[in-house]
Amino acid sequence: MTWSNQSGVTTILTAQSSQFKKSSMWGGGDKPLQTKPSRVSRELKSAIADDLYKEQVNDAKIKAMGDLVDYDTFKARVSVAHLRPLGAPNIHSQVSCSPASLFNSDGTRVAPSASQGPVVPPCAAAAPHPPAQVPTSSPAFERAWRRSCPTPQDKFHYMLLIPPENLPQIFKVEITPTLLGDVLVVLNDHCLTSESPAQEDLDKAALVLRLLGSFTGVGRFSLTSKLLNPKAKSALVSLSNKLKGTVDPTIPAQKEVWTKWGLI
């Protein structure tokens, strides 16, 4: 397509050049070109992700050091510091274990028969039972304390199961302030709960006093007792008041126990 202007200069425009300009701007169609992110953008995004990961790991290390956890717990916390907990609403099910045995092949729920009784999830029958074996090491104690004693009452009976003279051998190296604090809270909540304790309760109170005395012989006790949190210290004071009012205060060993715990 051609024409001439007033000065006699001929201008030639072709449809092909017009189409070329359109194609170069819009990728040959109505949509813009899909360009890949530049190398700088990819490197910046990677650097931001690395900084976030390092910050999460560092925060996990600081918190673990503040809790005075053992090496295995410290390693486990750091290894999962960058993970996010699942928050989808459909992960919380009324069935606490695999529900495959509760449904038919077509997806309908199995109806309990009169002869078989109600359908019980497999994990309900495998509920943890309080341990009946005395631990021989700190890891064995912590494993039973956290896994096999789901309720505070179970933890209290587990403590009464352990001979007091075994505690220094079980915690030969140390006992963490967190674990010792949990033990104190459990002992305080379940020892001498009645205003008129029976003889059985008094016997348990005497055993609790012996346990407290044996805890003073574990590794690094003087340091651990100073690092107890306020809740554990409050439980210790409350427990000592209970025991002082029921157990014979003239026993020399009792005064020695409270001295080592820093209450006298």
pLDDT digits (tens, 9 = 90+) for 8-67: 444 444 444 454 444 444 444 555 555 566 788 888 888 888 888 888 888 888 888 888
Render pLDDT for 104-152 as a digit per residue (tens, 0 to 9). 666 677 676 544 555 555 444 445 677 889 999 999 999 999 999 999 9
**Do residues 5 and 14 make contact, with C-beta atoms less than 8 angstroms apart?**
no
Beta-carbon count within 10 A of 240 CB: 19
Which pLDDT belongs to residue 4?
46
Render pLDDT for 207-263 as a digit per residue (tens, 0 to 9). 999 999 999 999 999 999 999 999 999 999 999 999 887 766 555 578 888 899 998
Name the packing angle between helices 177-190 and 199-215 (round to 10°): 170
**Do residues 194 and 163 make contact, with C-beta atoms less than 8 angstroms apart?**
no
Q: How far apart are CA 111 and CA 118, in angstroms?
A: 8
205: pLDDT strictly greater than 50: yes
Which pLDDT belongs to residue 117?
53
Q: Within 13 Å of residue 92, how many CA atoms lie on the same side as its CB?
A: 5
**Do residues 197 and 205 make contact, with C-beta atoms less than 8 angstroms apart?**
yes
| Strands in the chain per DSSP E | 2-4, 10-12
Against a cut of 0.75, is the pTM above it?
no
Tell the burial category of 207 from Cβ atoms under 10 Å away from its Cβ (0-12, 13-18, 19+): middle
Beta-carbon count within 10 A of 169 CB: 14
Q: How far apart are CA 196 and CA 199, in angstroms?
A: 10
Tokens of 85: 């907990």
Instruction: Choose between 95 and 70: higher pLDDT.
Output: 70
Which pLDDT belongs to residue 110?
67
| CA distances, 157 to each of 46, 86, 126, 151, 154 (Å) | 53, 35, 20, 10, 5
**Do residues 209 and 258 make contact, with C-beta atoms less than 8 angstroms apart?**
no
C-alpha 81: how far from chain center: 12
Positive or negative, the CA dihedral 137, 159, 189, 206 is negative
Render pLDDT for 153-204 as a digit per residue (tens, 0 to 9). 999 999 999 999 999 999 999 999 999 999 999 999 999 888 888 889 889 9
87: pLDDT strictly greater than 70: no
Which pLDDT belongs to residue 154?
93
Split at pLDDT 50, 70, 90, the class of 94 is: very low
Which pLDDT belongs to residue 100?
58
Which pLDDT belongs to residue 82?
79
